[in-house]
Amino acid sequence: TLSDRLTSVLQNLRGRGRLSEADIDATAREIRIALLEADVALPVVRTFIANVKERAKGAEVSGALNPAQQVVKIVNEELVGILGGETRRLNLAKTPPTVIMLAGLQGSGKTTLAGKLARHLLTQGHTPILVACDLQRPNAVTQLQVVGERAGVTTFAPEPGNGVGDPVDVARRSIEEAKRAQHDVVIVDTAGRLGVDEEMMRQAADIREAVQPDEVLFVVDAMIGQDAVTTAEAFRDGVGFTGVVLTKLDGDARGGAALSVREVTGQPILFASNGEKLEDFDAFHPDRMASRILGMGDVLTLIEQAEQAFDQEQAEAAAAKIGTGELTLEDFLEQMLAVRKMGPIANLLGMLPGAGQMKDQLAAVDDKHLDRLQAIIRGMTPAERTDPKIINASRRLRIAKGSGVAVREVNDLVNRFYEARKMMQQMAGRFGLPGSNRGSK
Ligand code: GDP
Ligand code: MG
């Protein structure tokens, strides 16, 4: 599985600025194999990987995840996005009856789905009727009638003994029947062929023309794999559809067809069929399908855990630093910059605990002032930033010259830093943060 193969790439490589091209490429290669193994069509894999690489290049390295994990995370997000984000519901007509037409290859599961949909709609208080427009195979009408009985709904079919009926005519008459008998949803089952052929397409297109469905659902067997693209394209061009239903997800298909169909046609996947029984049916869940395609349920869990652990680690480290008074000028600068990102400082004052006493001091700090403070700290050596005690008179002079400020301003900054550090130690003590004298374990 992907998670097995990624173990070699997933090593602890924290905090390296941006994701490097080599990291991205290595992980992308693994993802590519996983997608192909999941039977995603090659052109779809190519586009997908290109998008992921593009996004990964711009991504800031998170402290929590190693680069491989981060690429996997991006892959998963992209995948869920392409698969549809949120689940879409059926479009119902403003004026009943709503007409739902099913199209797809023979054996894709249309007739079975007709029963499942009918049952699903019944439980929601609708009054569906099934329509038998597959007049190609001898048993097709009977099969639909059996399915309908099981679901507890009426099936509209051509009268027996009239020879082979005209499916377009049956479809048209079924709408009249639905209006007469007050069925608010009409589910039209159509014929399929083993392969795509023109006559089948024309018939389906004619039925569509005749009944103007609110939804045309393209029913596709998830086991179809690589062929999903050509089949979906043929149905898109020949009949057109507004949504997709994936069937046979109870099989061992990895679900690549879902990605292919979605990417090629842009139409949403509405439902998932996962068994022969009426109740083996569910709304389609993009996130579950994404994990299935990548076969990386465990990888995703690992990533979540890594992120949580890191957040906690960071919070604890910061708290410990404050408590023990190890706050450096580097931290000080970082915090000022963070505060600045959040907007005008004045607005933040009210939100800080114990801000009352600092208020006057902080009110004097405007953006221009911050620029100067930043310049001063940047003008210090790393040793000076970590241990401000060493900043003696000659160092102060050097720093002032280097950053274009007066020595007085350097003095000011260093003093203010000591005050801030003292204040934080007191606050840490009061709040019982780890590392402080009081409240530590
Ligand atoms: P149609 O030709 O498109 O109408 O397809 P059918 O509804 O007749 O289904 C073809 C075969 O697939 C039947 O044997 C169904 O029982 C079976 N089938 C349909 N949907 C599913 C499914 O979700 N899971 C499984 N395992 N079998 C299914
Ligand atoms: Mg059928």
**295 pLDDT exceeds 90?**
no
pLDDT of residue 12: 37
Distance CA 228, CA 249 (A): 14
- The domain that contains 48 carries what CATH number? 1.20.120.140
Kindly give the distance from the C-alpha atom of residue 254 to the centroid of ligand 1, in angstroms, as a whole number.
18
Q: What percent of the chain has pLDDT over 70?
A: 73
The total domain count for the chain is: 3
Give the torsion sign (CA, 55, 56, 62, 64): positive
Does residue 313 sit within a domain? Answer: no
**362 pLDDT exceeds 80?**
no
Highest mean pLDDT among 155-159, 289-293, 320-324: 155-159
pLDDT tens for residues 71-99?
778 888 888 888 987 678 899 999 999 99
**107 plus 182 within the same structural domain:** yes
**363 plus 253 within the same structural domain:** no
Q: Is the ipTM of this complex over 0.90?
A: yes
Ligand 1 mutation pick, 112, 113, 133, 278, max ligand atoms within 8 A of CB: 112
Distance CA 142, CA 131 (A): 12
**80 plus 220 within the same structural domain:** no
- The domain that contains 353 carries what CATH number? 1.10.260.30
> Could you say which DSSP state residue 184 is in?
S
**258 plus 392 within the same structural domain:** no
User: Which amino acids bring their CB within 6 angstroms of ligand 1?
Assistant: 104, 106-112, 192, 247-248, 250, 273-276, 280
Highest mean pLDDT among 142-146, 257-261, 289-293: 142-146
pTM here is 0.68
Kindly give the distance from the C-alpha atom of residue 102 to the centroid of ligand 2, in angstroms, as a whole number.
10
Q: At what angle do helices 297-324 and 286-294 cross, to 10 degrees?
A: 100
Does residue 264 sit within a domain? Answer: yes
Q: Domain boundary at 270, 303, 336, which?
A: 303
pLDDT of residue 117: 97
**276 plus 345 within the same structural domain:** no
Distance CA 261, CA 104 (A): 13
**57 plus 109 within the same structural domain:** no
Distance CA 119, CA 98 (A): 15
Does residue 320 sit within a domain? Answer: no
Distance CA 43, CA 243 (A): 21
- Give the mean model confidence (pLDDT) for residues 157-165: 72
- The domain that contains 107 carries what CATH number? 3.40.50.300
Pairing of strands 128-133, 154-156: parallel
Check: CB of residue 153 under 8 Å from CB of residue 129.
yes
Ligand 1 mutation pick, 134, 276, 281, max ligand atoms within 8 A of CB: 276
Pairing of strands 243-247, 215-221: parallel
pLDDT grade for 281, boundaries at 50, 70 and 90: very high
Nearest CA to ligand 1 atom 6: 109
Closest approach atom of ligand 1 to CA 106:
2
Kindly give the distance from the C-alpha atom of residue 223 to the centroid of ligand 1, in angstroms, as a whole number.
12
Nearest CA to ligand 1 atom 12: 109
Kindly give the distance from the C-alpha atom of residue 194 to the centroid of ligand 2, in angstroms, as a whole number.
12
- Its domain, for residue 30, covers 2-85+296-303
**121 plus 270 within the same structural domain:** yes
Q: Please count the other Cβ atoms lying within 10 Å of the Cβ belonging to residue 337.
A: 13
**157 pLDDT exceeds 70?**
yes
**433 pLDDT exceeds 60?**
no
Kindly give the distance from the C-alpha atom of residue 76 to the centroid of ligand 1, in angstroms, as a whole number.
30
Candidates 215, 203, 38; CA nearest to 113 is 215
Ligand nearest to the CA of 117: 1
**107 plus 202 within the same structural domain:** yes
Binding site members for GTP: 104-111, 189-193, 247-250
Q: Alpha carbon of 150 to those of 145, 146, 216, 325, 332: distances in Å?
A: 9, 6, 24, 74, 71
